[in-house]
Amino acid sequence: MTENAPPLPIARTVEALRTTVRDWRRQGFAVAFVPTMGALHEGHLTLVREAGRRADKVIASVFVNPTQFAAHEDLGAYPRRETEDAGLLAGAGCDLLFAPTVGEMYPEGFVTGISVGGPSQGLETDFRPHFFGGVAVVVAKLLNQVQADVAVFGEKDYQQLLVVRRMARDLDIPTEIAGSATERDGHGLALSSRNAYLAETELTVARRLNGVLAEAAMKAGDRRPLAAVEREAYAELLKAGFERVDYVAVRRADDLAAFANGVVDGPARILAAAWLGTTRLIDNMAV
């Protein structure tokens, strides 16, 4: 917590959250929202500060969502440090932390799911088929609970951003879904809670990811055949020291559809996921 930041108010229930939001609305305040799973770093705080530029009041949530973890993924190992997170949020200008329990979010008897097509198809879904179903449900609930004017999501999770944007549009959720540019360290590595799991030697390899994608993006932008661009980037990541690569793909920026003619003919994004030990890193950038 910064020296002058007061303790951050915390709402534990939807009722308490909505009481605060109603009070702000009566005073004429615009409200922005930043959903997180905690274990906050500078990338998250950048989203909070962006939210503060877009609205008078900022709410951030910290909720480790069990429905987006598969059986083989260790939900229990995900870091939880609410006190530290609250201090960081207060220092970044957040006005309220929403920190519900699992029971508050998924009360007994909860059975509803959401299936999002379009931008959810392929890429992450090929390797984590459960993921976007869980994301869609929890984000839809959070957007309806907060009822903010705008919600800010990081572009590091670019496919997730497009899935949420599509879902909000399709379900007539009036909150604007805004993207914020990926925050990177001095070596170009996208900031992520997962970076803390990397040994120093693995960090050296991880910092090559951004460079390999940048080189591939330049080739794609020059209208090189995308199959060759993707294949070469895949090989370069393995050569750089990544142990395996889930995907490297160049897709249309607005919906992540493949380019039908095999070359870039409009706004594009290159996306990748690769492994170092037990740590899976994702990144993307504009072409």
Q: Which of 228, 239, 222, 234 is nearest to 287 (CA)?
A: 222
Q: Of the residues 44, 72, 130, 187, which is catalytic?
A: 44
For 178, the token pair is: 């805004």
Active site residue 44: yes
Indicate the SS3 state at residue 282: strand
Cα 149 from Cα 28, distance rounded (Å) = 12
Q: Is the Cα torsion angle 217, 222, 223, 225 positive or negative in sign? A: negative
Cα 280 from Cα 133, distance rounded (Å) = 20
Contact 97, 11 (CB under 8 A): yes
> 131-146 and 158-170 are packed helices; what angle lies between their axes, rounded to 10 degrees?
60
SS3 content of the chain, % helix, strand, coil (to 5): 45, 20, 35
| Strand order across the 268-276 sheet | 244-252, 268-276, 279-286
Question: Would you name the residues annotated as active-site residues?
Answer: 44
